[in-house]
Structure 1
Amino acid sequence: MLASCSVADGAPADAGSERPAGSQRPTGSADVLLPTAGMEYDYQIGEGYTPPEGVRAVSRDREDEPAPGLYNVCYVNAFQTQPGALPWWQDTHPGLLLRDDDGEPIIDEGWDEVLLDTSTAARRTQLAEIVGDWIDGCAKSGFQAVEPDNLDSFERSKGRLTKEHNAAFAETLAARAHSDGLAIGQKNTTDLLGRHAEIGFDFAVTEECAQFDECDAYADAYEDRVFAVEYEGEGDVSFEESCSTWGASISLVLRDLDVRPAGAKGYVRRAC
């Protein structure tokens, strides 16, 4: 994960949403609404704001309201805690935090988030009750899809988690999302791209796929149903180059690393 919102864990408020334009029904068994390849996108997980003209899809935090009339993707931090949420987890579910040999929580230092322990079926079941409630909330609020973040937490687990652990948990979350009528997006990690159909992912949300030369892999797997976020000042591939290579097929947007709302100092947003 490169960008993370700062909202603490909690139940989302109710909100309505009009039926989004420019989306399509899938041909599979899950009765969910898929995004349309190439629809203009905005990444608003830091704080929602009035979408720029032309935008047809947005990602917003699960505690935010969906944007009326657009395709709304609900951001859920499913594999790590939110910044500042550790006390809640310590008080209510200390056994679900991944710990080192000394019993100390293992932290994603880049974002001050503790990894959640997906290493056993029992813990995954308990986590699914919590995260599943959040996904239910996304559906109730009027979102059309969900993006469970930090699927790649096994890479930061000091060897205590594997991609199989996270794939198993993601499969449970996909089933929950589909039962709620939500599509579900794979968030990063090409390590699990070959298993996307088995897990149940419907589209992708990627961060810096251009910088890591991964956009084609996601586009091929999801028939161009890819929401790709690049960050200002990160990496060596310019946004102009990214747009020239991939902008005609996938939904590509440039944001500031802190995903600030429009009008805030440091706000950056460009689309191809």
Structure 2
Amino acid sequence: MGERTCPTRARAVSAAVALGVLAGCGPPAAGTDPAPPTDTKRSAPQAPPAGVRFDYQLGGASPLPDGAGLVVRDSTASPAPGVYNVCYVNGFQTQPAARGTWLAHHRDLVLDDAEGHPLADEEWPDELLLDTSTASGRARLTDVLGESVARCAKKGFEAVEIDNLDSFTRSRGALTPEDNFALAAALARTAHAAGLAIGQKNAAEFTARGKQAGFDFAVAEECAQYDECASYTRVYGARVLDVEYTDNLDTDFSRVCRAPDTPRSTILRDRALAPAGQHDHVYRRC
């Protein structure tokens, strides 16, 4: 299907970028895209287990459901012992807690609208789009975001999930897919150099390009609801983690699980991704 911005996607409210925005180094020469850092090298990255049972805990860490072998948590959280851990990093937009830090210290890396004001995501107005339009800007963004990636590796995560790859669809024509995939490729090299696998988040129309950029697996939101699951599984096979949401699913979840295109690793969660034990917490899996 054509380019689509899903207005109902879930988002972690992370301070991860805010913790590292002052740690960036100078960019490489103009006209080149960045090489990965060399001081975070560790063991070779391992992709998530195919068809693994998992939980998506961006709303707060909690004990894992029985049988889960993988969990996705925010980069400010700690990994869970004994399972495969994926670390959430917002790679193409700022997080609400980091907005002021970006504007204070990296104002030129925040995309402007036609009037020269910071351009926000209309559905998530506390998030500002990052400017991926130049090689020098992508180099500096890789330095800044690389600090979050390095922290994920240091904490013991096995992989990172990079959100908002499709920010170009919200850029009012200022950014292109090529801009974002150039940064994605740099972040993939950075993650791999740190020993982490890296997951493509959403952007079902661009899974083949995502694989070429270096993504090892995919995290989809509502691919069953939007009839996009086959776009992911054609490229990433059984290494697709799909999260459907209770407030936007127009069929019974059991029917989703029986559909032939539904990834083996599919769960149903509440929109807030509330931790287990809270009254609005929902978790079901195929």
- TM-score, shorter chain, exceeding 0.5: yes
Residue equivalent to 1:16: none
- Note the residue ranges of structure 2 that are not aligned, 5 or more in a row: 1-5, 21-42
| CA distance in structure 1 between the partners assigned to 2:211 and 2:265 by the alignment | 21
Identity of aligned residues (%): 48
Provide the residue aligned with 2:10 in structure 1.
Answer: 3
The corresponding residue for 1:172 is: 186
- The answer to whether the Cα contact below 8 Å between 2:18 and 2:97 also exists between their aligned partners in 1 is no
Match of 2:173 in 1: 159
Q: Which runs of 5+ in 1 are unaligned?
A: 13-29
Aligned with residue 56 of structure 1, among 46, 69, 75: 69
Q: Which moved more, 1:53-62 or 1:106-115?
A: 106-115
Task: Give the equivalent residue in structure 2 for 1:236.
Answer: 250
Aligned match of 1:202 in 198, 212, 216? 216
In structure 1, what is the Cα distance between the partners aligned to 2:66 and 2:179?
41
- The answer to whether residue 122 in structure 2 is matched with residue 115 in structure 1 is no
In 1, Cα distance between equivalents of 2:56 and 2:248: 16
Deviates more, 1:65-74 or 1:232-241: 232-241
Q: Distance in 2 between matches of 1:196 and 1:150?
A: 13
Specify the code of the residue in structure 1 equivalent to 2:253. Answer: F
Check conservation: 1:167, 1:192, Cα contact below 8 A: no
Q: Deviation of residue 248 (structure 1)?
A: 7.5
What is the CA deviation profile of residues 197-249 of structure 1, one whole-angstrom value per residue up to 9, with x for unaligned ones? 32001000000000111111211201210000001120424322211115875
The answer for the alignment partner of 1:75 in structure 2 is 88
Q: Out of 132, 150, 156, which is 1:142 matched to?
A: 156
Instruction: Give every structure 1 segment of 4 or more consecutive aligned residues whose post-TM-superposition deviation is greater than 3 Å.
Output: 9-12, 246-249
Counterpart AA for 1:77: N
Letter in 2 for 1:264: Q
SS of structure 1 residue aligned to 2:14: coil
Give the number of equivalent residue pairs: 255
Q: What's the offset of the Cα at 1:101?
A: 1.4
> Does the 8 Å CA contact 2:273/2:281 hold for their aligned counterparts?
yes
1:92 corresponds to which letter in structure 2? H
Question: In 2 relative to 1, CA 207–249 (structure 1 residues): closer, same or farther, beyond 3 Å?
Answer: closer
Aligned partners of 1:246, 1:69: CA distance in 2, in Å? 31
Once the two structures are superposed, the pairs formed by residues 42-53 of structure 1 within 5 Å of their partners are 42-53=55-66
Shift of 1:169: 0.3
